[in-house]
Amino acid sequence: MKIKLLKSKKGEGYIDLIISLGVIFTVIYTFILIFPIFIAKQNIDYMAKSLVKTIEITGELDEKYYDSLEYLKKETGLNPEITLKGNFKEGKLQLRDKFTLEIKDSVDIVVISGIFGKDIKISVPVSKRLSGLSEVYFK
């Protein structure tokens, strides 16, 4: 009798369906968890390109740079760490002087939200480094 039950194929389709749905929901949940990383990376890339273009066109760190920086922070909702390296003299770059802009931020992903305790989070660093040349000659 026990051998007949073990060899029986009844209900096998239901088990396959449950396993398939479990795998599908796990994949969907994973995509939902990692989606904010891609959005933050896209926003940091956009911020870096805009700031480098602003410095290239104006050739200096003036109000236009800081205004566009504040605007981009509000627009993207990020508050990254920004590092500028270059031959800045009194905030100005001469024609064809190179500079490098690096933007770093991190995105927290909640893996498991705790009902009675703390959330389990993973912090993922996101960064972008761009270089540019000044297009302005100062006398």
CA angle centred on 128, ends 127 and 129, rounded to 5°: 130
Q: How much is the pTM?
A: 0.80
Summarised one tens digit per residue, pLDDT across range 22-51 is 999 999 998 998 999 999 999 999 999 999
* Domain membership flag for residue 28: no
Summarised one tens digit per residue, pLDDT across range 16-28 is 899 999 999 999 9
Residues 6+ apart with CB under 8 A from 3: none
* Domain membership flag for residue 19: no
Q: Share the mean pLDDT of the chain.
A: 90
Domain count for the chain: 1
What CATH number corresponds to the domain at position 78? 3.30.1300
Report helix, strand or coil for 35.
Answer: helix
- Identify the burial level of 104 via C-beta atoms within 10 angstroms of its C-beta, where 0-12 means exposed, 13-18 middle and 19 or more buried: middle
